[in-house]
């Protein structure tokens, strides 16, 4: 029987995951110079669904219960269809840095939504962290237009963060019964089918020959690495060290994304944006510290599709 991977392998997997997701924000921005947002997302979701369904077939598990079908459809619509519409339109309208920072607020939104939809409610002290994070958001948005962002794009990204956080909270019983991989495969496929009618008009008008090879490579990276490879690495780490410790690494994504966007896209970084990012991280730290360690059955709930 083989020995379980050591901590060095887990750390390497998590660092690779964070770098993949950080690069993806800039990759998507580059791809959207040649793809329309909805066409790009339609192709990305459909091909990713095929990949995840293939992986799910290799992961044995129980059949989907009829009583879980409505919840799974809700997860698919909120966590994939609505999320992807808001995410791709948001990142198209604002900077890659702002998108990464605002999506990093997922733990704060999850803590708030848990008050209404989950028995895993945050402790009273977590609200201090929530308030601090919201102050950080104000600072980031206040500086947004000066560094190339937009109020509309930032608002859409905040809406995407809300959708992903809501699906995270609602997914707990489904993930507990079927596992993260199978849940992701089913929800992503349903969400992709629901998204397709929104993207068909842009797909119909698209001329593939006019899209340069660099944009197709960017699309391929966003599918293969950002979704499939990063998800597998993330789940590998969560299975070894648990959700709480793993999710700490996700806080590095916005910082790394800002650096990549500065180097690859030349996106400026404002002083208030930097201060706001630090304030948001402080708030997230307090939220995590005051919410306590969550049960193992919820161990996959903080992954994110970027």
Asked if residue 257 lies in contact with residue 97, where contact means CB atoms within 8 angstroms, the answer is yes
With left for phi above 0 and alpha for psi between -120 and 50, is residue 159 left, alpha or beta? alpha
Tokens of 283: 């708030």
- Local mean pLDDT, 10-residue blocks, the chain (306 residues): 64 88 94 95 94 85 84 92 95 90 80 72 70 78 76 92 86 81 88 94 92 96 90 75 63 82 85 81 73 44 50
Res 212: pLDDT: 96
Sign of CA dihedral 42, 46, 48, 52: positive
| 221: three-class secondary structure by DSSP | helix
Q: What is the H or E stretch that residue 207 is in?
A: none
Q: Which of 189, 160, 166, 184 is nearest to 37 (CA)?
A: 160
Res 120: pLDDT: 60
Q: Which of 77, 61, 84, 36 is nearest to 200 (CA)?
A: 36
The single-letter DSSP state of residue 63 is P
* pTM of the predicted protein model: 0.81
Q: Which of 105, 103, 94, 100 is nearest to 146 (CA)?
A: 94
Res 67: pLDDT: 85
Asked if residue 56 lies in contact with residue 181, where contact means CB atoms within 8 angstroms, the answer is yes
Res 295: pLDDT: 40
Please calculate the CA angle 230-245-225 and round it to the nearest 5 degrees.
5
Res 282: pLDDT: 83
The single-letter DSSP state of residue 3 is P
The b-or-e profile of 283-305 (16+ CB within 10 A means b, else e) is bbbbbbebbeebeeebbbbbbbb
Res 216: pLDDT: 96
């Amino acid at each position: 029987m083989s020995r379980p991977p050591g901590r060095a392998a887990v750390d390497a997997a998590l660092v690779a995951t964070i770098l993949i997701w950080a690069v993806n924000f800039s990759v998507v921005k580059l791809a959207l110079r040649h793809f329309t947002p909805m066409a790009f997302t339609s192709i990305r979701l459909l091909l990713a669904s095929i990949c995840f369904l293939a992986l799910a077939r290799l992961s044995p598990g129980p059949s989907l219960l009829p009583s879980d079908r409505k919840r799974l459809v809700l997860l698919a619509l909120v966590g994939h269809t609505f999320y992807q519409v808001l995410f791709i339109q948001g990142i198209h309208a604002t900077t890659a840095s702002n998108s990464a920072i605002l999506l990093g607020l997922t733990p704060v939104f999850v803590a708030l939504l848990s008050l209404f939809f989950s028995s895993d409610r945050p402790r009273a002290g977590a609200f201090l962290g929530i308030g601090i994070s919201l102050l950080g958001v104000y600072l980031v948005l206040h500086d947004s237009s000066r560094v190339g962002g937009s109020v509309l794009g930032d608002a859409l990204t905040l809406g995407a963060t809300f959708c992903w956080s809501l699906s995270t909270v609602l997914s707990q019983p489904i993930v507990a019964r079927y596992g993260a991989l199978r849940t992701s495969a089913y929800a992503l496929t349903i969400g992709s089918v629901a998204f397709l009618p929104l993207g068909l008009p842009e797909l119909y008008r698209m001329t593939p020959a006019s899209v340069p090879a660099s944009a197709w490579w960017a699309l391929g990276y966003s599918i293969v690495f950002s979704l499939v490879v990063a998800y597998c690495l993330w789940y590998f780490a969560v299975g070894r060290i648990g959700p709480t410790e793993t999710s700490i690494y996700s806080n590095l994504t916005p910082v790394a994304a800002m650096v990549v966007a500065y180097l690859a896209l030349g996106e400026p970084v404002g002083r208030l944006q930097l201060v706001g990012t630090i304030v948001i991280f402080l708030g997230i730290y307090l939220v995590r510290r005051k919410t306590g360690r969550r049960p193992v059955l919820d161990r996959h709930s903080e992954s994110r599709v970027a």
